[in-house]
Structure formats: C-alpha cells, structure tokens
Copies of this chain bind each other. A is one copy, B any other.
Amino acid sequence: MALDTSNLVELTMAICDIESVSGNESALADEVEKLLSQSKHLSVVRDGNAVVASTNLGLGSRVVIAGHIDTVPIANNLPTQLHHFEREQVIVGRGTVDMKAGVAVMLKLAVELVHPNVDITWVFYDNEEVASDLNGLGRLVRNRPDLIQGDFAVLCEPTGSIVEGGCNGTLRAELVFSGKKAHSARSWMGENAIHKLGSALEFLSNYEPQEVEVDGLVYKESLSAVLVNGGIATNVIPDLATLTLNYRFAPSKSEQAAAEYVKSLFEECEISIVDSAPGARPGLQSPEAKAFVAAVGTSVNPKYGWTDVARFSELGIPAVNYGPGDPNKAHADDESLPASQIYACESGLRNFLTSNL
C-alpha cells in the first residue's frame, strides 16, 4: 500500500507500522523513494537506505531538512494505536516520537511545497539509533558531499515542536583502578581496587554541573558514572575495578578541552577516553536561523542530548532541532504522541518555507 500524505495522523501511523529498526529500513526506504519519485519538482537520489530529494529552483538559498527513518527495537508497541480523548488524539507506538511523526511532516511538505521560497534538500536517512560509524547521514556526507549542502539545516528530532538550538558534546571516559590480589581472609596482604572507587564516586556524588551560556542559550552540563565493574570471586581481594563516565559538555568546549577537564578531576587511576563527539553551537546568529525562529514563532531552548545537528555544525551549516514529540518519551516502552504536535510542527515548517526570508 503506497503512502498517502493527505492526513498527517494516518501517515504517521502508516510509517510507524512499517517496522524499521536500525539495519532493517529497506521496506520503509522503498516506500519513501516511491512516494517522492512521483513528484516532478523533486530530484531523488537513493544511497543505501537513505533517500535524498531536492528542489532545484535556482533560489538564493538552500535549507536542508533531515530526519532518520530507523527506530530502536520494538517493545510490544506496534502496530500503533490511536486513542481518542475529549480534546486530543494520541498515537501510541514505537517511532511515534523518535521520529516518524517528524518524517511524516517532512514527506507531506516535500510533496506539497512545489513552489517554496528557498530551495530545499529533504534527507531521509538510516541507522541513527546505532553506532556512529553506521549513521546514514554520516555516510551521505562521505559518499555524496554535493547533496548535503545548504545555508541552514533543520533536524526534525522530537523537541515538543519548539526550537532547540545546538547540542551538548558527549564524551565517555574509562577509569581503571588497580590494586593487588590476595585471599580475602588475609585482606591486608592485598590492595583493594574496589575500595579505591570510593573517593571518585563521592566526588561525582557531590559534583555540581556547570551551566555555560553559548550564543545566548544556557547549556547545563553533566558528569555521571554509567557503568561500574570489579571483582573476581567472593574470596579474593580484587586487583581491578573499572568505572565508566559520561560527560556531557557545553558546545563552546572542544572535545580535547573536555577530555583534559575529565582527566584533571581524578587521581589514583588510569583514565582513557573511549569516545567523544563535539557539541554544536546553536548557530542562531545566521539570517536563516533568525528567519526560522521568527517563522515558527516558538521559544528557543538549548538541546541537551547529542543529535545529528552536530554533523551539520561540523560542515559549517547552522542547524536546529525542531520536531513533534516529547523527547522524554523517545525510546520509552510507552512511546506516544499527541496529534496536535504534528500539526504544530507542520504549520511552523510550512510557514518558514513559504514566507519571505
């Protein structure tokens, strides 16, 4: 059954019901490609399970609007269900928030906006919910850098249909504490590596995260233990304990500065940086960004989670997050979305793309 863009709620449900857990996006990518190929004003390129559709109207500026079509694994929450309340409809199911309602808005506008006021590159991509090296947007940037160009980008990740600018960077560090093995009946012959975690954890427990203002938005950082592991057997003094930290740092800091900061905080352990990704400044100073904020008419907040806006940021393209859905419901077993959020996002984006910049 081909996708029908006339009703956004039905379109969202239809897209959710085509299961597309990361790595399994081909059925949905086929439908997206088929739909967009019917529009004469779009030039469509397929790369793996990513689909890029562009207008080429020779307008003065170009906006990239992007969204991923994969989801995290389903949790007995498909097919979607539509619940009716007195003043609202709610769609319940995997992908409604992260981020198939956003994809539905993109598809509807891609098909309907034959004469936008800016040239538009619509990017539908795969493998966002898995390891960074599989990310479909990253692959497009490598394979077809000519396609991912523009003066401004909008990523339709869930923001509750308000504008969220930039994102914090993220870094994982592994702290390894060493000791000396001994039989636990003679603990004084050894050196307990687990006990050495104590001061690091006490420090984290009392840590006050910094709040950093970047381009007028206040980014709240965080530094958290996320994994801990140590010990050999219940009668052995452990000689090794490992603590993994996640540091979310303001977009004004480089990855290197973030790594040096974490390394400066802890003693008595070996610290290695497992991976990191830079943040993205909100980029709200560009004329396109100012026009976007004015057109969608919502408040502007910092984004805390890392999103692919950082990839646009690396390409020098100012980018914001703007999409339907409460980000706290993303990945939840009870993932669900009020229909009004979809219409709000559609209206904001349509206004931006058809108003005079």
Interface residues of A in 219-258 (CB under 8 A from B): 220, 222-238, 241, 243-244, 246, 248
CB-defined contacts of A234 to chain B, threshold 8 Å: 172, 226-227, 244, 246, 274
A92 CB within 8 Å of chain B = no
Docked-complex contact A305 and B202, CB < 8 angstroms: no
Docked-complex contact A231 and B225, CB < 8 angstroms: yes
- What residue of chain B has the Cβ atom nearest to residue A224's Cβ? B187
The number of times this chain is found in the oligomer is: 2
* Binary contact readout A277-319 vs B (1 if CB under 8 angstroms, 0 otherwise): 0000000000000000000000000001110000000000000
A39 CB within 8 Å of chain B = no
Docked-complex contact B168 and A222, CB < 8 angstroms: no
Binds B, one of A22-30, A60-68, A188-196: A188-196
Docked-complex contact B187 and A209, CB < 8 angstroms: yes
Docked-complex contact A201 and B197, CB < 8 angstroms: yes
Docked-complex contact A227 and B228, CB < 8 angstroms: no
Binds B, one of A101-109, A146-154, A178-186, A341-349: A178-186
Contact residues of A: prevailing secondary structure: mixed
Docked-complex contact A185 and B170, CB < 8 angstroms: yes
CB-defined contacts of A189 to chain B, threshold 8 Å: 328
Q: Give the number of residues in A that approach B within 8 Å (Cβ atoms).
A: 52
Q: Smallest Cβ distance from A283 to chain B, in angstroms?
A: 19
Docked-complex contact B202 and A202, CB < 8 angstroms: yes
A43 CB within 8 Å of chain B = no
CB-defined contacts of A202 to chain B, threshold 8 Å: 198-199, 201-202
A231 vs B203: C-alpha distance when bound (angstroms): 18
A210 CB within 8 Å of chain B = no
Docked-complex contact B192 and A224, CB < 8 angstroms: yes
Docked-complex contact A231 and B220, CB < 8 angstroms: no
A90 CB within 8 Å of chain B = no
Q: Smallest Cβ distance from A235 to chain B, in angstroms?
A: 6
A192 vs B226: C-alpha distance when bound (angstroms): 8
A45 CB within 8 Å of chain B = no
Docked-complex contact B185 and A222, CB < 8 angstroms: yes
Among A186, A228, A244, which residue has the most Cβ atoms of chain B within 10 A?
A228
Docked-complex contact B205 and A246, CB < 8 angstroms: no
A78 CB within 8 Å of chain B = no
Docked-complex contact B170 and A225, CB < 8 angstroms: no
Q: Which 10 A-B pairs have the closest CB atoms?
A: A198-B201, A227-B231, A198-B202, A187-B222, A185-B305, A194-B225, A195-B205, A185-B304, A184-B246, A228-B230
